[in-house]
Structure 1
Amino acid sequence: MKQYLSKDFLVKVVCHPSYFGRVSVLFILAEIVINVLIINKIKYTEIDWVAYMQEVEGVANGTWDYTKLKGDTGPLVYPAGFVYFFLGLYHLTGRGTNIHLAQYIFAFLYIVLLALVCRLFHKSQKMPPYVLLVMCCTSYRVHSILVLRLFNDSVAMIFLYGAMNLFIENQWALGSLVYSLAVSLKMNILLFAPALLLAYLRCLGLWGTIKQLTICASVQLVLGAPFLLANPIGYIKMAFDLGRVFLFKWTVNWRFLPEEVFLNPFFHLSLLCLHVALLGLFAYTHGNKFLSSYYNLIQVDTRLNIKSQLFILPMFLSNFIGMAVSRSLHYQFYIWYYHSLPYLLWSTPYRISTRFLLMGVIELCWNTYPSTWWSSGLLHCCHFAILLGIYMERPKDKILKKVRNMLEKNK
């Protein structure tokens, strides 16, 4: 008993990655209590829930033409998976009237999301347990997105993290199925697609990649079938509109620009070019090299934490690049990368104090409502600092040397 109360043991529990899984259980239990308190002590804020219920109510009443599914906030713009999921919630919550029950369902979903994220970090053995203090219990905005606003973004991220957990266990087919389900809930999940496609090609080869893409496409066809039969053009146009123009008043990341620049198509084209350029740069520094090593570890069936690290970082980085150059970020989009930020920051050469400072400033920016020129400018500075740090910490044969040593030991 004495050894468990010693200073050395307590330091290990707080700082050593091998304790991440055990410590995360305590934080997940704490999150259950926190979410219950939030639901019962803080007033629910209506934003999109009623609109979600109105949109799926049309399907409940027999309408399969996507162009006729609307709510108070406008037409339905999410793929078919969203309809089925929220149609289930529509029936569970008495046609959407039992908000309190809906909040508890979303609290449960948040615990699932957190458990999936913690499992990824535990498998990677990269994160010190004390990061959980920030990741779990401090973000007002993330808790608000889930249990006070009931946004669909969090549901899509649950499926994404579920898919990543399957991928690191080499369950490629099942992982592709779950990944496609995530896309069917909200298209932001496609921001992870460049890294996933590279992983398919590096680890499974061309024919294996075609098989996985076929699984992904089949899921979309099966889920969308009733809507495609009713009005195929209407469904594709409404559910997969990549050219949708966002409103300037909701932007978190471009408030310092004049509205006419924000809406200018050339500005959007410039961001797209920058997106492609950054993906190309990091595909070279963190994609090809990392995933080639990941493939080599799979070949020798090595069950080491480095294998998870080699897959997780490119996936998180691909999504982060997409967000950093996004045409517009809205407040609920914070959940798209919130839980990956600690992992990305621990992939930089920065001091611990700098990492926590960046997380704190990012939290401040996302909690500034309405956004201001300085909050959106600071957010871009933080994004740039993270990308620069990850580039500075590019493999340089450092991690890859570890991989080669592991491969030699397993020969």
Structure 2
Amino acid sequence: MVPPRPASDWRRPWLSAYHLAFSLLTDPRYFYALSALVILGDAVLTQLIIRFVPYTEIDWETYIYQLELYLKGERDYSLISGPTGPIVYPAGHVHIHHALFNLTDSGNNLKVAQKVYAVLYIALLTTTCGIYGRAGGVPNWIVLLLPLSKRLHSIFVLRLFNDCWMSAFAHAAVLAYASAFDLLGTVLLGCALSVKMSALLYLPGLLVVLFKKHGLVGTLAHLAVLVSTQVAAGLPFLLHHPGSYLKHSYEFSRQFLYKWTVNWRFVSEETFLSQWWARGLLAGHVAALVTFGLCKWCKREGGAWAVISGGLRTPWRRPEGCHVTSDFTTTVLFTSNLIGILFARSLHYQFYSWYALQLPFLAWRTKYPLPSSKLVLLLAIEYAWNVFPSTLVSSATLCVANAVLVTGVWFGYPEEISSALSVDRQKTE
């Protein structure tokens, strides 16, 4: 006769499963294991979206039409246009869509295009998990938040916006900088900038990172590399119509349409289109960056003037006393990007891809109490980006939430979280 099993035996598999799940969610040693599961799950989800959710045409046909003009020999940017308007992006955009043109049967095979963008999205998600892992300071379970954005999936595989390429290159650049592959990071950021000018939002924070790591001469060398990538990308147009190319691909004075704005719907159209409003936003943007630079990003070294004077004394090497970690690099670059988004002249729906996967990281660089308050902040931002068309409430919610997040980083951990946490512990002991 078989003796009865002890009551504890049947609970053993459940306890083991519980301990495994708990370790995956909380133990830093299992961060990449959980990330791999999230990436795999999101890859399946993305394929299901492609299979069951209808594609919506917005700009793909225009991209392809503009590319066809290029293939026919047109090199004057002012003469390259499409159904939804003229080309307003640097030439990296053209080269990417040249490759897509060949892969998708002259742009006609949308399923192939969607699969390419699905791979691009998973590459972005993988890179983001790598950034979080390198920087640290976030719980493992935070990666579960990354695949939850309905709008982000739509931007990639249901709309095929070129912002996706800029975001993927920019995140790859952040990972390279955080991993101390700075030259690679600059080349990748140059690739992002060659697709869309919005990559410049990282530049103020990047100057701080590079100056503290390489000094004045090293920073200027990286800027030279960044410029060189733009020359290389735009060469087919610069050789023939340089003025036209520079005017239309890097157009800082571009006027946006009020009907598409996501962030400023709560102001009148007259205000939105006015020059004083644009100048006010630019002034706010510059002021916020300068304030972070002077008061936060160099605080550990004794202030910005100490870093700058040290760098000028020894221009060929890093300023004395400067130590740049992966955490600092990621926090500063993400914050620089967020500040630019807060003060953007206008945000369109595809622009959410610029920072959607950075938001959980930034929320955990605040000191807002309890994870629930941070989750509410993230939910408010996701809500605002999913209201179409934008409303007074949704746009105000987005602006307030972005401002609250910037403020939270200011009063939280604007440099790096690990050393700040140790200081906080010492103060409480």
Query: Structure 1 length normalisation: TM-score?
Result: 0.91
Letter in 2 for 1:236: L
> 1:156-208 CA distances to partner (integer Å, 9 max, x unpaired)?
11111111121122222222111111100111110000000111111101111
1:318 to 336, 357, 362: 336
Q: In the alignment, does 2:95 pair up with 1:95?
A: no
**Distance in 1 between residues matched to 2:74 and 2:110, nearest whole Å:** 25
1:10 to 8, 16, 21: 21
Change (3 A) 1:397 1:374: closer
Counterpart of 1:230 in structure 2 is: 240
Change (3 A) 1:386 1:164: same
Counterpart of 2:84 in structure 1 is: 73
Letter in 2 for 1:42: V
**Distance in 1 between residues matched to 2:22 and 2:150, nearest whole Å:** 28
**Distance in 2 between residues matched to 1:201 and 1:290, nearest whole Å:** 15
Counterpart of 2:6 in structure 1 is: none
> 1:102-159 CA distances to partner (integer Å, 9 max, x unpaired)?
00000011011111000010112222222222211x2110000000000011111111
Change (3 A) 1:395 1:222: closer
2:230 to 200, 220, 232: 220
Counterpart of 2:264 in structure 1 is: 254
2:94 to 83, 91, 96: 83
2:167 to 148, 154, 157: 157
What is the CA-CA distance between 1:400 and the residue it aligns to? 4.5
2:278 to 240, 264, 268: 268
Letter in 2 for 1:217: V
Q: In the alignment, does 2:398 pair up with 1:379?
A: yes
> 1:312-370 CA distances to partner (integer Å, 9 max, x unpaired)?
00000000000011111100000101011001000011120001111111111100001
Provide the secondary structure at the position in 2 that maps to 1:230.
coil
Change (3 A) 1:14 1:221: same
Change (3 A) 1:279 1:395: closer
**Distance in 2 between residues matched to 1:218 and 1:396, nearest whole Å:** 30
What is the CA-CA distance between 1:397 and the residue it aligns to? 9.9
**Distance in 2 between residues matched to 1:395 and 1:65, nearest whole Å:** 44
Counterpart of 1:407 in structure 2 is: none
Counterpart of 1:357 in structure 2 is: 376
**Distance in 2 between residues matched to 1:200 and 1:71, nearest whole Å:** 39
Q: How does 1:52-71 map to 2 (within 5 A)?
A: 52-71=63-82
Change (3 A) 1:278 1:44: same
Which segments of structure 1 move beyond 4 Å, counting only runs of 4 or more? 1-4, 6-9, 290-293, 394-404
What is the CA-CA distance between 1:399 and the residue it aligns to? 4.8
Counterpart of 1:408 in structure 2 is: none
Counterpart of 1:342 in structure 2 is: 360
> 1:21-73 CA distances to partner (integer Å, 9 max, x unpaired)?
11010011111111111111000000000000011111111111111111111
Letter in 1 for 2:144: L
What is the CA-CA distance between 1:8 and the residue it aligns to? 4.7
Counterpart of 1:279 in structure 2 is: 289
Change (3 A) 1:162 1:217: same
Counterpart of 2:201 in structure 1 is: 191
**Distance in 2 between residues matched to 1:91 and 1:290, nearest whole Å:** 51
**Distance in 1 between residues matched to 2:162 and 2:361, nearest whole Å:** 24
What is the CA-CA distance between 1:3 and the residue it aligns to? 10
Change (3 A) 1:122 1:394: closer
Counterpart of 1:366 in structure 2 is: 385
What is the CA-CA distance between 1:18 and the residue it aligns to? 3.5
Is the 2:327–2:417 Cα contact (8 Å) retained in structure 1?
no
What is the CA-CA distance between 1:252 and the residue it aligns to? 0.5
| Greater C-alpha Rg | 2
Q: Using the TM superposition, name which of 202-211 and 164-173 deviates more.
A: 164-173
Q: Using the TM superposition, name which of 112-121 and 222-231 deviates more.
A: 222-231
2:116 to 97, 101, 105: 105
What is the CA-CA distance between 1:402 and the residue it aligns to? 7.6
Aligned residues: 395
**Distance in 2 between residues matched to 1:201 and 1:164, nearest whole Å:** 16
Letter in 2 for 1:344: L
Provide the secondary structure at the position in 2 that maps to 1:287.
coil
**Distance in 1 between residues matched to 2:43 and 2:18, nearest whole Å:** 29
**Distance in 2 between residues matched to 1:79 and 1:395, nearest whole Å:** 32
Counterpart of 1:328 in structure 2 is: 346
Q: Using the TM superposition, name which of 243-252 and 8-17 deviates more.
A: 8-17
1:389 to 401, 408, 413: 408
Letter in 1 for 2:37: L
What is the CA-CA distance between 1:286 and the residue it aligns to? 3.4
> 1:60-108 CA distances to partner (integer Å, 9 max, x unpaired)?
1111111111111111100011100111101111110001110000001
What is the CA-CA distance between 1:16 and the residue it aligns to? 3.3
RMSD of the alignment, in Å?
Answer: 2.4
Letter in 2 for 1:313: T
Query: Structure 2 length normalisation: TM-score?
Result: 0.87
Is the 2:205–2:333 Cα contact (8 Å) retained in structure 1?
yes
Q: Which runs of 5+ in 1 are unaligned?
A: 405-411
Q: How does 1:175-190 map to 2 (within 5 A)?
A: 175-190=185-200
Counterpart of 2:325 in structure 1 is: 307
Letter in 2 for 1:19: Y
Is the 1:290–1:310 Cα contact (8 Å) retained in structure 2?
no
